[in-house]
Amino acid sequence: MAQIATILSLLMILTLVRAERPVIHRQSRARAFIQSQCQTTLYPDLCIRSLSYYAVNFTTTLSHRKLAQFAVKVSLAKAESTRAYITGVANHLNQTKDKGYLSVRECLDRINDGVDLLTNCIKEAQKIKEDGGNNNDFPWRASNIQTWMSSALTDVSVCVDGFSGRALGGKTKAMIKAKVLNLQQLTSIALALFNRFAARYRSTHVVIKP
């Protein structure tokens, strides 16, 4: 009986190993795909780190469209966390009647705009069919996404332009700048990956004009 139980246990282990092999293979290919695509961005190391989570949890083929969508979602998540931090700073400065409030409020308005624009990008990107389908509206949707992401990138780039030298504490200013810089880099990565996807899409799909 002990031998039978041992054999059954070994068979079960072999079955699990065989079942895991395709998943591990797909994850390995996803990691390699992410690394190769991230090399085309301005911040390849940050790109790989921010998107590696999806390689570990991905169970199907990773494509240029899906990778671009993931990158926009990462940028949006960072924009939302940055907004939450700056909102807290703005509320504190407003309560204490600090002179730095107006510059932080202006920065927060920019981040709010960026969050809205990136949210629109995700919604629009989800309407693009990768398998061909009815792709006649692709140029319009792609143009919308590229315009919105470029605008979001501009928003975060000028977020701290209004900060004056002594209007805001050094540590607070440094923290805001660090968070906004990280958001700027992630948004740049998302735009680069979407541009790459859009270029490939145009080269492989025939768009019929009405």
Q: How many residues does the chain have?
A: 210
Question: pLDDT tens digits for 84-126?
Answer: 999 999 999 898 888 888 889 999 999 999 999 999 999 999 8
H-type alpha helices, the chain: 2-38, 44-57, 64-95, 101-125, 138-157, 170-204
Closest CA to 193 of 152, 159, 145: 145
Task: For the chain, state the CA radius of gyration.
Answer: 23
Cβ neighbours, 10 Å, residue 177:
14
Tell me which CATH code domain 63-204 carries: 1.20.140.40
Q: What is the mean pLDDT of the chain?
A: 82
- Indicate the SS3 state at residue 127: coil
State residue 56's pLDDT score. Answer: 65
The residue written with tokens 């960072």 in the block is 78
Closest CA to 92 of 83, 104, 80: 104
Give the residue extent of every domain in the chain: 63-204
- Gap between the Cα atoms of 72 and 89, Å rounded: 26
pLDDT band at 194 (very low <50, low <70, confident <90, very high): very high
32-36, 72-76, 125-129: which range is least confident on average? 125-129
DSSP character for 164? -
Q: pTM to 2 decimals?
A: 0.82
- Gap between the Cα atoms of 117 and 37, Å rounded: 24
Report the alpha-carbon angle 132-137-141, nearest 5. 105
The angle, 0 to 180 degrees and rounded to 10, between the axes of the packed helices 64-95 and 138-157 is 30
The residue written with tokens 């792709």 in the block is 135
Residue type, 167: A
In this structure, what token pair is assigned to residue 63?
């494509």
Question: What is the rounded end-to-end Cα distance, in angstroms, of the chain?
Answer: 73
In this structure, what token pair is assigned to residue 108?
């927060």
State residue 206's pLDDT score. Answer: 57
- Gap between the Cα atoms of 9 and 120, Å rounded: 52
